[in-house]
Structure 1
């Protein structure tokens, strides 16, 4: 084959580092963004937090307005052009509040013209930290140790009780047997010492199971329920016949209780069906995990990225959308360092410092673009789901990502990144942006009903059902059909499970 030369013209899109950073910041949650900002503040000396004392002198950029595209090559300039083409100018808080006004002065805006990202949130140090308040609690171990101090015990018994308390799991159960605990301390070489330890642990276990909460120190679920019933019996709570029937049920295989096999349980316990039914109802009110309220669970405080406020009444009711100022970082380019770099000689290391300065400017601009995109998407969601904000989830419309993407001129993947781990505070509550998107089910009129609205209807049907004759999935499907919504039984079952609603046989009142 004879070699030849040819000229070919083609186009391709290159993801520059600046564009990659913009995409990554867009998909970060509020907490992840705060961590990213802290990391950038530590790494880049040209980036600083804006002080609370008021605006400082803006950085004087060279003529030509090259605010974000000074120096370091064609890549920065090309990405600047791409981002500027997609990102609308944000000049004042009024543009961020959804009223369409852009007449306010630039210096009063959330985004200044001096390379500064301002935050209107208060930095009041006197306010209680919600996260710390949520985490403050007393552990189950501390609670039991405090009770053990009131018991008059010998040193050995006190040490055995302390060892058992430390061996409990988070639910308050003793997972290991007393023999295995004794072997872990004494080994198997000395049978006499091993027997003595088992005896001490047996006595300590009885003391442990007498402490609050009732059921702590149990080895299995049946023992946990039995301990709670014994505590009720000692306090003379409830009908003694019912409590005795419940104790008998706990001695039977628990799968009979799980299946609510009333007849077999009544025969096994030798009690009437009425007493057995009351005993089963009593058991369902017991706590299967005594240590639940002491669990060290981190409570995640959700801070909305966008706030929706209702204005007007009746037909004049409107909704304004604004960013939450508390989640917007207040950043600026360090004026002293930037001025020193411009006035200094272009010696060794000047190009590296110029690159760091450019990175700081790009970081501020990408954060600005992130919040601007979140606001645009939120406005579009509120406009399409206005009935939800007025009437609740029963009025939710079907909505897919492509509809918002086509309306805003963005890619569907961009909308997906925006709606992930971003939250909207509304008069109806706080919801993730993805909550407002849902598939549609056909109706008799040829329209579509949102899957969110269908789930709300199912929840409403179940809440209003007769507890003695709960609705089956087929009956719920028929009721939806009467509402004009075509929904198969399997779809009803899927939605019911997503709502964590038990099937009809388990919802039936005893």
Structure 2
């Protein structure tokens, strides 16, 4: 079966408005998706909620939740066999531990909510770049506002970097172009025209209306805002059908790409998937709410043939939108499962043995395996949560860059942090281990890590230095 959703920055796939809708739905959390669907049900008479179950999804997810809530992390390697027939699904998450599900399948959330800059820096850390370009990108990201726009000039960014690197304006422009194609696409733009133009660049060259949409964005945004379609069509020698196609494409874009991260405060998280071991294999099921059961209201659909022209046109439009939404929801669920299964295959050792067994994993690894673009993987890993016998984790938790080992392999940053935490936890309070000693011990275990890297990981764990630990002890 071909992947349901593939976003490519080269020109290989037409990102239609319908596919744009599917992409937008991907980045929604489970709770946000429920709100979106409630709004759609209220506004579109052709949509209806059905009672049909998807392969026993509800019963299986409930059973998984009950079984896993009763298990402790120590039981992760041996959960036992059952008679259930789990779906062969997939998912992934970032660390979020230690809470039980309430009666609605929700979990209290006390972790700090990730903002736009955190999301961009996370992608930067997983993107191959020189130290020089990485410093430029980090400076650009820190200057991005909550709407996703960059207000600082290239000259100001150059001056900010002066103490670290002497960089040219051309280098800054090149790196900014790369950041603009992070998720969400269009961030780090300096104005609306540029932001929309970057998003249009992600479309295939044969996308209907693309050429006219680019012209409208580049030269006629003000006229569009005034809805002066007649004059625009005359000026561009475009017919109304072509104009409407281009306008629909523009309306599918996101004018403020940072908005989905603004003021994102949530008190609860709802697991999107459940992982459990069945018959010696790790299996995953989607949570019930991740495949909403929407259908077409046949009563209103049957009225189309009998209605007057205006009413019939209205109902036809609503029917088309309903079908698009249902298809987009199916695409969302299929994509989440593809990404999740890839992550589970990569991180099975973590589920068996814990954080010290975490493998290095970057967005490109998953993207290449399932044939999707990295920005799609980034969307799926944002604010999606996996419930496992070891706790509940955001998908992002399973991604980290790697450090080489003496045998030519690699250890993930997450695994190294877990080792550092364990070593410090076992140290004598009167003789805390310095970063140099910790680095030497990791080197002895075959992990090529420098003292400064150990210090960075220790600080990320909010563990004081050996001097401070000695005083605290």
SS at match of 2:269: coil
Decide which structure has the larger Cα Rg and report it: 1
Distance (Å, rounded) in 2 between the aligned partners of 1:13 and 1:340: 36
Distance (Å, rounded) in 2 between the aligned partners of 1:338 and 1:305: 32
Distance (Å, rounded) in 2 between the aligned partners of 1:53 and 1:434: 29
Instruction: Give the structure-2-normalised TM-score.
Output: 0.52
Distance (Å, rounded) in 2 between the aligned partners of 1:468 and 1:307: 43
Is the alpha carbon distance of 1:459 and 1:134 closer, same or farther for their aligned partners in structure 2, counting shifts above 3 Å?
closer
Of the three residues 285, 292, 301, the one matched with 2:268 is: 301
Give the equivalent residue in structure 2 for 1:393: 355
Is the alpha carbon distance of 1:324 and 1:129 closer, same or farther for their aligned partners in structure 2, counting shifts above 3 Å?
closer
Is the alpha carbon distance of 1:299 and 1:404 closer, same or farther for their aligned partners in structure 2, counting shifts above 3 Å?
closer
Q: 1:318: how far off?
A: 0.8
Distance (Å, rounded) in 2 between the aligned partners of 1:309 and 1:363: 31
Confirm or deny: 8 A CA contact 2:275 2:386 kept in the other structure.
Answer: yes
Give the equivalent residue in structure 2 for 1:380: 342
Q: Does 1:485 align with 2:447?
A: yes
Deviations 1:272-298 (A, max 9, x none): xxxxxxxxxxxxxxxxxxxxxxxxxx8
Give the equivalent residue in structure 2 for 1:337: 300
Give the equivalent residue in structure 2 for 1:295: none
Of the three residues 297, 315, 320, the one matched with 1:358 is: 320
Q: 1:134: how far off?
A: 9.4
Q: 1:466: how far off?
A: 0.8
Of the three residues 307, 314, 328, the one matched with 2:291 is: 328
Is the alpha carbon distance of 1:446 and 1:497 closer, same or farther for their aligned partners in structure 2, counting shifts above 3 Å?
same
Confirm or deny: 8 A CA contact 2:109 2:269 kept in the other structure.
Answer: no
Give the equivalent residue in structure 1 for 2:211: none
Of the three residues 371, 376, 381, the one matched with 1:419 is: 381
Q: 1:97: how far off?
A: 3.3
| Structural RMSD (CA) | 2.9
Distance (Å, rounded) in 2 between the aligned partners of 1:374 and 1:368: 10
Q: 1:28: how far off?
A: 1.1
Q: 1:129: how far off?
A: 5.5
Q: 1:128: how far off?
A: 4.8
Of the three residues 88, 107, 114, the one matched with 1:97 is: 88
SS at match of 1:307: strand
Give the equivalent residue in structure 1 for 2:49: 49
In the TM superposition, 1:32-47 aligns within 5 A as 32-47=32-47
Give the equivalent residue in structure 2 for 1:459: 421
Q: Does 1:310 align with 2:272?
A: no
Q: 1:132: how far off?
A: 11
Is the alpha carbon distance of 1:394 and 1:52 closer, same or farther for their aligned partners in structure 2, counting shifts above 3 Å?
same
SS at match of 2:464: coil
Q: 1:354: how far off?
A: 0.3
SS at match of 2:303: helix
Q: 1:446: how far off?
A: 1.4
Distance (Å, rounded) in 2 between the aligned partners of 1:397 and 1:352: 53
Confirm or deny: 8 A CA contact 2:48 2:294 kept in the other structure.
Answer: yes
Distance (Å, rounded) in 2 between the aligned partners of 1:131 and 1:373: 23
Give the equivalent residue in structure 2 for 1:29: 29
Distance (Å, rounded) in 1 between the aligned partners of 2:25 and 2:402: 31
Deviations 1:90-139 (A, max 9, x none): xxx9684349xxxxxxxxxxxxxxxxxxxxxxxxxxx856779999xxxx
Of the three residues 452, 470, 479, the one matched with 2:432 is: 470
Of the three residues 367, 373, 394, the one matched with 1:405 is: 367
Mean CA deviation greater in 457-466 or 318-327 = 318-327
Confirm or deny: 8 A CA contact 1:310 1:427 kept in the other structure.
Answer: no
Q: 1:444: how far off?
A: 1.1
Deviations 1:63-94 (A, max 9, x none): xxxxxxxxxxxxxxxxxxxxxxxxxxxxxx96
- State the structure with bigger RCO (CA 8 A, min sep 6), 1 or 2: 2
Confirm or deny: 8 A CA contact 2:273 2:284 kept in the other structure.
Answer: yes
In the TM superposition, 1:152-167 aligns within 5 A as none
Number of matched pairs: 268
Is the alpha carbon distance of 1:497 and 1:394 closer, same or farther for their aligned partners in structure 2, counting shifts above 3 Å?
same
In the TM superposition, 1:64-213 aligns within 5 A as 96-98=87-89, 128=103
Is the alpha carbon distance of 1:18 and 1:420 closer, same or farther for their aligned partners in structure 2, counting shifts above 3 Å?
same
Confirm or deny: 8 A CA contact 1:424 1:432 kept in the other structure.
Answer: yes
Confirm or deny: 8 A CA contact 2:89 2:341 kept in the other structure.
Answer: yes
Confirm or deny: 8 A CA contact 2:30 2:289 kept in the other structure.
Answer: no
